[in-house]
C-alpha cells in the first residue's frame, strides 16, 4: 500500500480525500504554501546534518563551520542547501502571504489561520537570523551586537529583555549558546508544530478558498492521489533547483569574529536591510522595534479591514477588496525601496 494512503499517517491526515480542482489550480496558489513546507523540510534535514559538526562556542564555532565547508565530505553542499533552503522559505512564505492578500484568502472563517501564518512568518525570519549568527564571523558578530542592543532601547523592560536574550551583560559565550538553542530547538519546535496546526486549520476552514464557479461550470474535484502526485512533482523540481544552486553558488564565510577589532563594515542579512537603512535616519527604538511592530500590526489587521465573508469572489485582484491590497503594496514598496537603498550604499 502507498504510504500516503495509510489512514494513520500524518500525510493522509493532512490531505483530504478529494479537493475542488479550482482551489488547487497552479495559477491560483502557485503552490507557494507547499513550496514553503518543502523548503522547511530541506532546511530541517540539512540542519540536522550540520549539528553533527557544528560547535556552539565562541572559540570553536567559526572553525567548525570552516571545517564543514572545507573538510567534511559534501559539507559545503549540505551547508549551501541549508542556506538556500532557508532563503527559499523566506521568499515562498512572503509570496504566499501576498497571494493570500491579492486573492482574499484571509476572509472569514480564515482569520485565525491568517494570524497563525503571520506568526510563522515571524518565526521564519527569526529562524533565519539566529542561523546567520551561528557562523560567528565578523558580519554575524556585529549584526548580533547591533540587533540585540536594539532591545536595550525599550523603556523600562529593555535591560531585562536584553539579559534574557543574551544571557549576560554583553555578547559572548552565553549569547551564542542561547541563539544556538533557539535556532535548533526552540524555533524548530514552534515552527514545526505551527506548520502542522496551520495545515490542519486549513482543512477545518473548508480547504483552500476557491474561485466561485460560473453557472455553466460543474464542480470538478481532484483525488488525494492526484494531489499527492502534483506535490511530488513540485517537490522534485524544487529539490533539483536547490541542489543545482547549492553546487554553483556555495556560501562564503567571513573572517572569524573579533570583538577587539572595532566595528566591522557590517551588512545586515538581506531580510533586515530595510531596518539597517532606517537605523541611519531615525532613532534605534523607532527603526528597530517600533517600525517592524507597526508593519506586523498592519498585516495582522488585514482580515478585519475587509470583513466580506463567505466564499465570495475568491479571484485575483478583486476590486471590492482594494484596501488590503493597497496596504500590502505600500508596505512592500517601502520595504523594498529601503532595502535597495541600503544595499547600494
Ligand atoms: C512556514 C510558513 C507557511 C507555510 C508552510 C504555509 C503553508 C500553507 C499551505 C500549504 C496552504 C494551502 C496551499 C496554498 O494556499 O498555497 C496555506 C494556506 C493558507 N495560509 Fe499559509 N503557510 C505559511 C505561512 C503563512 C503566512 C505568512 C500567512 C499569512 C499571514 C498564511 C496564511 C494562510 C491562509 C489564510 C491560508 C488559506 C488560504 C486560502 O484558503 O485561500 N500562511 N498555507
Question: Which residue minimizes the CA distance to atom 42 of ligand 1?
Answer: 117
Cα of 129 vs centre of ligand 1, distance in Å, is 22
Distance CA 125, CA 229 (A): 30
Locate cell 489550480: which residue?
25
- Supply the pLDDT for residue 14: 77
Domain assignment present for residue 2? The answer is: no
Domain assignment present for residue 126? The answer is: yes
Distance CA 115, CA 303 (A): 9
Cα of 230 vs centre of ligand 1, distance in Å, is 18
Cα torsion angle, 327, 330, 336, 341, sign = negative
Distance CA 303, CA 110 (A): 8
The closest of 105, 118, 91, 125 to 324, measured between CA atoms, is: 105
Burial label for 61, CB within 10 Å (0-12, 13-18, 19+), is buried
Cα of 176 vs centre of ligand 1, distance in Å, is 32
| Ramachandran assignment for 283, one of left (phi > 0), alpha (psi -120 to 50 degrees), beta (any other) | beta
Cα of 32 vs centre of ligand 1, distance in Å, is 8
Segments in the chain below pLDDT 50 = 311
Domain assignment present for residue 204? The answer is: yes
Ligand 1 site, residue 32, Cβ cutoff 6 A: yes
Distance CA 195, CA 89 (A): 12
Distant-in-sequence, close-in-space partners of 249: CB < 8 Å, separation ≥ 6: 80, 84
CATH number of the domain where residue 277 is located = 1.20.810.10
Ligand 1 site, residue 24, Cβ cutoff 6 A: no
- Supply the pLDDT for residue 4: 59
Domain assignment present for residue 63? The answer is: yes
Ligand 1 site, residue 68, Cβ cutoff 6 A: no
- Supply the pLDDT for residue 154: 97
Domain assignment present for residue 141? The answer is: yes
- Supply the pLDDT for residue 44: 98
Domain assignment present for residue 304? The answer is: yes
Distance CA 243, CA 134 (A): 23
Distance CA 266, CA 312 (A): 48
Number of domains within the chain? 1
Domain assignment present for residue 22? The answer is: yes
DSSP 72-117: STTHHHHHHHHHHHHHHHHHHHHHHHHHHHHHTTTSTT-HHHHHHH
Structural domain harbouring 17: 7-343
Domain assignment present for residue 1? The answer is: no
The closest of 43, 40, 92, 54 to 253, measured between CA atoms, is: 54
Tell which one of 100, 127, 205, 327 to mutate to probe ligand 1, the residue whose CB is within 8 A of the most ligand atoms.
Answer: 100
Looking at the CA of residue 34, tell me the nearest atom of ligand 1.
Answer: 10
- Supply the pLDDT for residue 53: 98
First-to-last CA distance in the chain?
58
Q: What are the CA-CA distances from residue 243 to residues 11, 50, 193, 213, 229 (Å)?
A: 25, 16, 27, 40, 21
Cell numbers given for 163: 539579559
- Supply the pLDDT for residue 278: 97
Amino acid at each position: 500500500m502507498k504510504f500516503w494512503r495509510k489512514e494513520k499517517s500524518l500525510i493522509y491526515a493532512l490531505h483530504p480525500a478529494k479537493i475542488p480542482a479550482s482551489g488547487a489550480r497552479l495559477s491560483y496558489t502557485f503552490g507557494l504554501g507547499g513550496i514553503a513546507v518543502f523548503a522547511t523540510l530541506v532546511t530541517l534535514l540539512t540542519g540536522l546534518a550540520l549539528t553533527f559538526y557544528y560547535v556552539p562556542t565562541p572559540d570553536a564555532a567559526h572553525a567548525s563551520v570552516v571545517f564543514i565547508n572545507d573538510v567534511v565530505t559534501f559539507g559545503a553542499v549540505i551547508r549551501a542547501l541549508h542556506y538556500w533552503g532557508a532563503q527559499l522559505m523566506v521568499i515562498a512564505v512572503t509570496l504566499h502571504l501576498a497571494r493570500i492578500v491579492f486573492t482574499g484568502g484571509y476572509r472569514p472563517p480564515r482569520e485565525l489561520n491568517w494570524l497563525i501564518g503571520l506568526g510563522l512568518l515571524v518565526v521564519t525570519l527569526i529562524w533565519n537570523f539566529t542561523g546567520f549568527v551561528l557562523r560567528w564571523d565578523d558580519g554575524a558578530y556585529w549584526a548580533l551586537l547591533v540587533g540585540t542592543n536594539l532591545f536595550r532601547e525599550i523603556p523600562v523592560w529593555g535591560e531585562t529583555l536584553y539579559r534574557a536574550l543574551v544571557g549576560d551583560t554583553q555578547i559572548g559565550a552565553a549569547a551564542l549558546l542561547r541563539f544556538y538553542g533557539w535556532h535548533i530547538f526552540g524555533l524548530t519546535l514552534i515552527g514545526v508544530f505551527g506548520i502542522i496546526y496551520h495545515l490542519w486549520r486549513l482543512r477545518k476552514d473548508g480547504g483552500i478558498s476557491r474561485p466561485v464557479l460560473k453557472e455553466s461550470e460543474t464542480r470538478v474535484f481532484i483525488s488525494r492521489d492526484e494531489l499527492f502526485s502534483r506535490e511530488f512533482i513540485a517537490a522534485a523540481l524544487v529539490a533539483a533547483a536547490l541542489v543545482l544552486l547549492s553546487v554553483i553558488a556555495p556560501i562564503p564565510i567571513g573572517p572569524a569574529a573579533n570583538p577587539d577589532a572595532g566595528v566591522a563594515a557590517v551588512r545586515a542579512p538581506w531580510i533586515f536591510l530595510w531596518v539597517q537603512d532606517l537605523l541611519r535616519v531615525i532613532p534605534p527604538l523607532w527603526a528597530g522595534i517600533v517600525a517592524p511592530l507597526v508593519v506586523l500590526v498592519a498585516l495582522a489587521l488585514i482580515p478585519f479591514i475587509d470583513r466580506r465573508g463567505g466564499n465570495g469572489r475568491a479571484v485575483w485582484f478583486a476590486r471590492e477588496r482594494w484596501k488590503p491590497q493597497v496596504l500590502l503594496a505600500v508596505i512592500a514598496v517601502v520595504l523594498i525601496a529601503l532595502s535597495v537603498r541600503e544595499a547600494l550604499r
